[in-house]
Amino acid sequence: MGPHLTIEPNDRSVGGAASAVGKGVEMTSVLLGEGAQSSEGPADPLADFEGAIAADERIEPRDWMPDDYRKTLVRQMAQHAHSEIIGMQPEANWITRAPSLRRKAILMAKVQDEAGHGLYLYSAAETLGTSREELLDKLHSGRQKYSSIFNYPTLTWADVGAIGWLVDGAAITNQVPLCRCSYGPYARAMIRVCKEESFHQRQGFELLLALSRGTEAQHAMAQDAVDRWWWPSLMMFGPPDDESAHSARSMAWKIKRHSNDELRQRFVDICVPQAEALGLTLPDPDLRWNEERGHWDFGPIDWEEFRQVLQGNGPCNEERIGRRRQAHEDGAWVRDAAAAYAAKRGTGRPAAQAVAQEQPRAQAQTQDQHDGETAVSPR
Amino acid sequence: MTRSQDTPAGGGAATRAEAALDSPLLPLADDALVLSHRLGEWAGHAPVLEEELALANIALDLLGQARVLYSQLGDEDELAFLREERSFRNCQLVEQPNGDFACTMVRQLFFSACQELLFGQLAELGDPLASKAVKEAEYHRDHAEHWTIRLGDGTEESHARTQRAVDGLWRYTGELFEPLPGPAPVGAVDWAALRAGWTERVTRVLTSATLTVPDSPQSGAWAAGAGRQGLHTEPFGRMLAEMQHLHRSHPGASW
């Protein structure tokens, strides 16, 4: 992270926009992994499972696993996927107003990447026997959650930068350890997601840097955005360890590798020098270096606000889920048409899959060889 | 998309801006920018996740084309953010609001079928940039073509919506074939051949989509070449207001 970053939206070497259309299909082989062979009913499947976890081996889709392990993973992966697609909204809010063509291209590519992550994660969840339709239905009916951070509004252009720097930064801190998660398809999905997220984080930093070094009004805009996004970003790591409902078990299963508080501290330690490089301040008077701990101390987090937003009382909860539902309902006739057309052609595929069949270009070559696998929608 | 010959290389800003307004590249750049902007409005609203990716992909391709073209005429941001409505040279088709998904796909089919043929001709005339862009246009046309067929030949509702989109947008298609005067290669384009190729292709797609090709005129009283002369439809002014507001609120700032 330096002050002289130059990032071009068309640097697609990190697997950004150019490859995005192909994601739906090419992901399959990655997610299913090498040698994910089913083993014929071992004598003691639980012992085998626990042995694999203890030995840091990956659990693959066809391996036996405890029901609770499966449920925990589906819950976490679904919430992650939902966060990606709900997270498109606050940033898409600025696509039509981006102040330069270069920024417009960067932002569009970023929002597109998020759609790609959503697709990727829904597919990873499907390896556990749950369909995208089912998960979307749970999102729309409020039975599954998405990250609360997206219930905050993007009020100025600088918020786009703050989301990239802080929200994506926090997400990466959370997600990098997931690349070593015990469930293979999730771990492999996260490797790709993290690469793109770190790209987004650098772009956010660079956007804020341009504002911070710009006119007085631009600098004030950047400071205001950081003031508003800092505390919600710290809340992204979840409640303190002694109040976290699922943490202990997830850590035992090696779905999770570090505690909420550990990750939060790591994030603060990363951000403090970056804020300094940006020439912006973090809105916490208690922030100071603790020589003894070798970490930055920070002030108390307003957990009441966190609970309020979680319970649906954030500034944008209704708007976000309402817009998502609206998009889904508005698109129903399109999905119906795709399904009806596919049925007439005798392919009989569900709508989403019929759609995916028609992604030309990047997918054209890979389509045939993956056609038999459950990339986009289960048969 | 080669630099137009009459652009003064070292001329002052004013002369350069005037030259830009006369360049036949400007309408092509404006078409790409405006349609890209409209497609960007879909972000977060697409009917399926795969279309979020596809629409953004097309929007990014078009934005990339616009930027390459603008950079040959002057400063890309000045051209995009500091011109008034009457100075934009895009055709009226691309500025039409998104409407429903059928409307967006039919608009894309009409535009990309034309762009593919136009860039094809430019590539043959030796324009190196067009030979890259023609591949993009081909993909956009292909994508829109598949959707038009699927929607036209899908359900009763999708058929009705798609026919409505075809009928509603038809009168903006004539403008696509208005010759753009100026130096080669754009000045050397065979517009009659372009029109014939477009009509053949679009007729084939609409027919296989079980849709009716309108027999109404392809331009209204104002529409024939109006966009190319800076006469636009009402929604365009609001689109520009939104697009330009932030940039104009901070004169001289860099982003």
Q: pLDDT digits over A175-203, tens only?
A: 999 999 999 999 999 999 999 999 999 99
What is the rounded CA–CA span in Å between residue B165 and residue A259? 54
> Taking CB atoms and an 8 Å limit, are A334 and B45 in contact across chains?
no
Position A30 pLDDT exceeds 60 = no
pLDDT tier at A347, thresholds 50, 70, 90: low
Verify whether the Cβ–Cβ distance B246 to A97 is below 8 Å: yes
Distance from CA of B221 to the nearest CA of A (A): 31
Chain A from 305 to 334: CB within 8 A of any B CB:
323, 326-327, 330-334
User: What does the pLDDT look like over A207-263, one tens digit per residue?
Assistant: 999 999 999 999 999 999 999 999 999 999 999 988 877 778 888 888 888 899 999
Sign of torsion, CA A112 A115 A117 A120? negative
Q: Which chain B residues have a beta carbon less than 8 Å from that of A123?
A: none
pLDDT, average across residues A61-75: 94
Q: Identify the CA nearest to A91 among candidates A75, A71, A112, A74.
A: A112
Q: Does B191 touch chain A (CB under 8 A)?
A: no
**Res A249: pLDDT:** 84
| Interchain proximity A88–B43, CB inside 8 Å | yes
Please tell me if residue A23 touches chain B, with a CB cutoff of 8 Å.
yes
Q: Poorest-confidence range of A9-13, A35-39, A71-75?
A: A9-13
For residue A346, the tally of other CB atoms under 10 A from its CB is 6
Residue A21: predicted pLDDT:
37
Which of A:76-105 have CB within 8 Å of B? 85, 88-89, 92, 95-105
Say whether pLDDT at A29 is over 60. no
Please name the member of B57, B155, B245 whose beta carbon is closest to the beta carbon of A17. B57
**So what's the ipTM on this one?**
0.93
Question: What's the whole-number mean pLDDT along residues A148-174?
Answer: 97
- Mean pLDDT computed over A257-272: 95
Within chain A, what is the greatest distance between any pair of CA atoms?
Answer: 71
Could you identify the residue written with the tokens 């330069």? A100
From chain A residues 196-225, the ones with a CB under 8 A of any chain B CB are: 207, 210-211, 214-215, 217-218
Note whether A100 contacts B255, CB cutoff 8 Å.
yes
Confidence of residue A356 (pLDDT cuts 50, 70, 90): low
The minimum CA-CA distance between B136 and chain A, rounded to whole Å, is 10
Distance from C-alpha of A74 to C-alpha of A63, rounded to nearest angstrom: 15
Domain chopping of chain B, boundaries: 14-249
- Which residues on A lie below 8 Å from B255 (Cβ)? 99-100, 102-103, 207, 210-211, 214
Contact B50 A359 (CB under 8 A): yes
Q: Does the distance separating the beta carbons of B40 and A96 come in below 8 Å?
A: yes
A264 within 8 A of A231, measured Cβ to Cβ? no
Q: Record the pTM.
A: 0.87
Of B41, B46, B161, the CB nearest to A331: B46
Separation in Å, CA B26 to CA A85, A99, B14, B160, B172: 36, 20, 16, 36, 19
Check pLDDT > 90 for residue A147. yes
Strands A288-290 and A295-297: antiparallel
Q: Which residues 220-259 in chain A show a CB within 8 A of chain B?
A: none
Q: Is the pLDDT of residue A362 over 50?
A: no
With a cut of 50, say whether residue A322 has pLDDT above it: yes
> In this prediction, what percent of chain A has a pLDDT beyond 90?
73
CB contact (8 A) between residue A96 and residue B247: no
Tell me the pLDDT of chain A averaged across its residues. 84
Binary contact (B255, A102; C-beta < 8 A): yes
In a mutational test of the B interface, the residue from A101, A159, A345 whose CB has the highest number of chain B CBs within 10 Å is A101
DSSP string covering A78-107: HHHHHHHHHTHHHHHTTGGG-SSHHHHHHH
Confirm or reject contact between B164 and chain A (CB < 8 A).
no
Q: Please, is B155 exposed, middle or buried when counting C-beta atoms within 10 Å of its C-beta (0-12, 13-18, 19+)?
A: middle
Which residues from B are below 8 Å from A117, CB to CB? none
- Does residue A124 register a pLDDT over 60? yes
Instruction: Please tell me the distance in Å from A342's CA to the nearest CA on chain B.
Output: 8
Mutate which of A7, A94, A96 to test chain B, going by most B C-beta atoms within 10 A?
A96
Q: Is the pLDDT of residue A379 over 50?
A: no
Decide: A95 and B40 in contact? Cβ < 8 Å: yes
DSSP assignment of A259-321: -HHHHHHHHHHHHHHHHHHHT---S-TT-EEETTTTEEE-PPP-HHHHHHIIIIISSSHHHHH
What's the confidence (pLDDT) of residue B39?
Answer: 98
* pLDDT on residue A25: 40
Does residue A109 register a pLDDT over 70? yes
d(CA A21, CA A37): 29
DSSP annotation string for A210-236: HHHTS-HHHHHHHHHHHHHHHHHHHHT
Could you count the other beta carbons within 10 Å of the beta carbon of residue A145? Answer: 15
Closest-approach residue (CA) in chain B for A356: B50
Alpha-helix residue ranges (DSSP H) falling in A156-215? 158-162, 168-175, 184-212
* Measured CA angle at A228 (ends A223, A229), to 5 deg: 100
Say yes or no for a CB contact (<8 Å) between B254 and A214: yes
Between residues A61 and A247, the one the model is more confident about: A61
Hey, which residues does A295 pair with through a beta bridge? A290
Tell me the mean pLDDT in the region A25-29: 46
Residue B44 with chain A: CB contacts under 8 Å: 88-89, 92, 111, 323, 327
Residue A373 reports pLDDT greater than 50: no
Say whether residue A157 is in contact with chain B using an 8 A CB cutoff: yes
Task: For residues A27-39, give the mean pLDDT.
Answer: 49
CB A279 within 8 A of CB A299: no
Confidence of residue A9 (pLDDT cuts 50, 70, 90): very low
Q: Is cis: bond before B185, omega within 30 of 0? A: yes
Question: Exposed e or buried b for every residue in A16-33, given b needs 16+ CB within 10 A?
Answer: bbbbbbbbbbbbbebbbe
Q: Which residues contact B61 (CB under 8 A, 6 or more apart)?
A: B136, B139, B140
Tell me what pLDDT residue B6 has: 44
Residues of chain B with pLDDT under 50: 2-11
What pLDDT does A256 receive? 83
pLDDT at A297: 98
Indicate the CATH number for domain B14-249: 1.20.1260.10
